[in-house]
């Protein structure tokens, strides 16, 4: 067991040493952008508007950190299948249940953190059936868990493979540049929410009124 844990081939197989730090950093940026897009698509479909999601740039760092963190800790369903003898359905169900737990914990922690420091409720699921506190609910956790499992199964490693094969210098410049941008944007945006005790609204496009609204901070 000790030999297995410190064997380079094994570590590469379980993904911890499969990619460089720069590849993970750039993947965080890509997933943060995808998270921004997904949230606005959801808003467009359900509320008929999109907005800046409290950020100055089109990235939601929490998504990138969460997904890459889950990948580093839990891996992908395919990796579970390689390492465990259980049948395929059991593996995918166990992975799905783990994602539900992680999503629920993550939503509660983020919601409570924003509420504590910024003195407002970032989102509220109290009107959603089977809510667990106002920050998470069974339907939303099921939805996020399904999206994450699909992403891990079909997209996570292809994205990492693509960025890993970029020229080394290009990859490092992009990774460092985007991480500075994302972290800086998060700090500045969170500072604004902390100062004003409200969301950092900058703009909103209302599809019903066909109107772009700018907010003054």
What's the rounded Cα separation, in Å, for the pair 98 and 102?
A: 6
DSSP-based three-state secondary structure for 45: helix
- pLDDT tens for residues 69-93? 999 999 999 888 887 667 889 999 9
- What pLDDT sits at residue 11? 46
> From CA 125, how far away is CA 142, in angstroms rounded?
14
| pTM for this entry | 0.90
174 contacts 166 by C-beta, under 8 angstroms: yes
**Cβ-proximal residues to 172 (8 Å cutoff; 6+ apart), any chain:** 22
Q: Three-state DSSP class for 84?
A: coil
Alpha helices in the chain (DSSP H): 2-5, 8-13, 21-47, 61-74, 77-83, 88-118, 138-154, 156-164, 168-196
pLDDT in tens, 88-145: 899 999 999 999 999 999 999 999 999 999 999 989 999 999 998 999 999 999 999 9
Looking only at the bridges linking them, the beta strands covering 211-214 and 203-206 are antiparallel
At residue 86, the pLDDT reads 72
- Contact between 169 and 18 under an 8 Å Cβ cutoff? The reply is no
Q: In the chain, what are the domain boundaries?
A: 2-214
Q: Is the pLDDT of residue 1 over 60?
A: no
């Amino acid at each position: 067991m000790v030999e297995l844990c410190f064997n380079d081939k094994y570590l590469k197989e379980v993904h911890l040493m499969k990619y460089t730090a720069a590849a993970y950093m750039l993947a965080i940026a890509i997933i943060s952008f995808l998270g921004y897009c997904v949230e606005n698509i959801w808003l467009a479909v359900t509320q008929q508007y999109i907005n800046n999601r409290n950020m100055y740039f089109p990235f939601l760092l929490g998504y990138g950190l969460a997904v890459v963190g889950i990948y580093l800790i839990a891996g992908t369903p395919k990796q579970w299948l390689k390492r465990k003898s259980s049948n395929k359905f059991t593996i995918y169900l166990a992975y799905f249940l783990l994602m539900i737990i992680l999503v629920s914990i993550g939503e509660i922690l983020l919601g409570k953190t924003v509420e504590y420091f910024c003195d407002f409720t970032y989102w509220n699921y109290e009107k959603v059936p089977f809510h667990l506190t106002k920050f998470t609910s069974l339907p939303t956790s099921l939805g996020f868990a399904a999206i994450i499992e699909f992403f891990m199964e079909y997209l996570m490693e292809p994205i990492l493979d693509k960025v890993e094969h970029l020229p080394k210098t290009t990859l490092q410049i992009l990774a460092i540049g985007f991480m500075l941008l994302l972290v800086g944007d998060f700090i500045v945006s969170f500072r604004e929410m902390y100062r004003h005790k409200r969301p950092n609204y900058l703009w909103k496009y209302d599809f019903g009124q066909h109107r772009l609204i700018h907010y003054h901070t």
